[in-house]
Amino acid sequence: MSFTMNVYYFYSVLLSFLLCWVFVVMNFMLSGEVLVVELDLLGSSALNMNIPFVIDVYSLLFCLIVLMISSSVMLYNGFYMDSEVFYARFCKLVLLFVLSMLFLVFIPNLLGLMVGWDGLGLTSYLLVIYYQDKKSLGSGTLTVLSNRVGDVLFFMGISLASGVSTWGFVDLTESVVVGVFCGVVVVGCMTKSAQLPFSAWLPAAMAAPSPVSALVHSSTLVTAGVYVLIRFSGCINSNWFLFLGLISSMTMIMAAMSAVYEPDVKKVVALSTLSQLGVMMLAISVGSIGACFFHLVSHALFKALMFLCVGAIIHYSGIQDLRYLGGFVYKNPIVCSWLVVACLSLMGFPFLAGFYSKDLVLEAFLSVGVNYLLLTLVILSTCLTAFYSLLMLVSVMSGACGSPFLGDMKSNLYVLIPCFILGVGALFGGVVMQSLVLDFNMSFSLQGLVKVVPITCVTTGVVAILAYVSYSSESRYGVEAPTKGVSVGLSEFFISKMWFLPLLSSDLFIPKALSSSGLMKSDMEDGYIESLIGGEGVWNTIAGSSVSYMSSQMEVLGIAFIKGFFFFLFMLSVVKL
């Protein structure tokens, strides 16, 4: 099958599911019904084995978003993976990745959830290491090991739930170990959604192809922890809410500060995802589950659009460093226009998709009694979001081309159609979903000055970037990159390295562990153990024993021969006599 036929085949598979799903979702949006369908696998057997599926607005709408983004990414693969030899294998991995996410969305118990949870971990590892080099292998290993912590915690949750003989989400609220169980679930979801201190793997996962990043960072892997917490929110007590609010606010400010100093354009988008995951966790911590899910689905639309636009820029230019990019708006204005829409929606610009959901989350946060520390972190991270979003736009579009572009700059339908589909969602998705879903219509009692805090944060970020570009003698992301050996302050190094999380997660321990294991192998396995109790030691012992035994046997045989010889001579002399 040719490459073009492969593209249309995999795209048509997801698009057919998407079109059939639209009518079902619209029906449940308007009716607000909740159905639980059980599939009996062993109906004729005495063993009861049922698989439940929950069908409500949350699962159906999230499934619709996943299918829409997946179908757009499949069509986008025809552009980004046009020279891929094993394209069919890549698409099958992506479809398996999407299938694992759908298992997690629809099955409302722990055992079924683990099928999708482990499936996401395995397929994400295979997709991150798709480009087979040392960097991809290191990034994939960090990703899968960080997510494995959450898997272990969920196995502990299953063992706790087995004491009450139930696996359902609702039934676990009556358990006597509900406090411990909630803690296990909260920390496990923090690992999958890359909250502190498990944040280092999310930028490292950028080693995967850009279409995979668009899926991972919009509606699948990183959102799995948020979605599970939405389902478990009924049994989480106030203490864990307070803990989650503190962690989420620290994650927001850490990701926003690191994005300002990050020169890699893909990692900037990844850090923006990390910051928005903190916003979603913040909504859960204040009990606004509807606002959290609203921001989850609206963020998926504009973040997938942002990754597709950034992937097109990287594919056209062959460069990921913002310090070398520039003037792209003259080469492909359509892609840059959609990138502007995605960045403005990320900032929370009025009347875009991100504005309706993000403003709702911030209003929910401001309406509860929070301390000034959390308030300062949230406001500062919101201002920095507008700052680094506009900084990325200025770096990509302004000025002359920093380097020769390597790819064909003509408009490609494989890029334009997915960007148009997701761009319409980023433009009008917020107001459409808020009009149709009742849970997305919430009102909060706020004072006049507090009401304008979200839009004030966006305005502050815009003013800051304008001042930075206008009055700075040399922009940090200018065409000329800083040379090697430039001194970097400790505070700047601390911020750019995500508060040293990559060092604490992998770089600080793995080299020492690998060198120690190498020394142990050379000294113990290849040295003492091998020479003493290993194969070589056993061989030397047996060989030495056999030589000694043979020597003793030869001595015994020699003495017996001499005695026999003299005895023979004696008998011979007696006979002669």
Summarised one tens digit per residue, pLDDT across range 362-374 is 888 888 766 788 8
Q: How many domains does the chain have?
A: 2
Angle at 333 between CA 330 and CA 336, to 5 degrees: 110
Report how far residue 65's alpha carbon sits from residue 213's, in angstroms, rounded to the nearest whole number.
16
Q: Does 466 share its domain with 554? A: no
Helix (H, G, I), strand (E, B) or coil at 264: strand
Per-residue pLDDT, 489: 62
Residue 295 lies in a domain: yes
Rounded alpha-carbon distances, angstroms, from residue 207 to 101, 136, 215, 264: 21, 5, 14, 12
Per-residue pLDDT, 487: 41
CA 334 to chain centre: 29
Report how far residue 41's alpha carbon sits from residue 112's, in angstroms, rounded to the nearest whole number.
14
Phi/psi for 412 (5° steps) reads -120, 130
Per-residue pLDDT, 475: 43
Residue 124 lies in a domain: yes
**149: closest CA among 112, 98, 223, 201?**
201
Q: Does 421 share its domain with 542? A: no
Per-residue pLDDT, 172: 59
Q: Does 503 share its domain with 523? A: no
Rounded alpha-carbon distances, angstroms, from residue 422 to 304, 306, 319, 430: 7, 9, 24, 12
Per-residue pLDDT, 12: 59
Residue 486 lies in a domain: no
Q: Does 117 share its domain with 30? A: yes
Q: Does 128 share its domain with 274? A: yes
Report how far residue 229's alpha carbon sits from residue 195's, in angstroms, rounded to the nearest whole number.
13
Q: Does 71 share its domain with 204? A: yes
Residue 137 lies in a domain: yes
Q: Does 436 share its domain with 528? A: no
Q: Residue 546: give the domain boundaries.
A: 510-576
Transcribe 307-335 into DSSP letters.
HHHHHHHHHHHS--BTTT---HHHH-HHH
* Binned average pLDDT, 10 residues per bin, the chain of 577 residues: 53 59 61 71 64 81 85 82 77 85 83 82 85 80 84 82 62 62 84 84 82 80 86 77 87 88 86 89 86 89 89 82 79 86 88 87 81 84 88 78 50 82 88 80 74 82 79 47 44 72 66 66 63 64 67 64 63 63
**229: closest CA among 67, 117, 61, 355?**
117
Q: Does 542 share its domain with 496? A: no
> Is pTM, for the whole model, over 0.75?
yes
Q: Does 503 share its domain with 539? A: no
Q: Does 499 share its domain with 524? A: no
Residue 487 lies in a domain: no
Q: Does 451 share its domain with 554? A: no
Residue 438 lies in a domain: yes
Residue 278 lies in a domain: yes
Rounded alpha-carbon distances, angstroms, from residue 278 to 281, 288, 542: 5, 14, 65
Q: Does 418 share its domain with 552? A: no
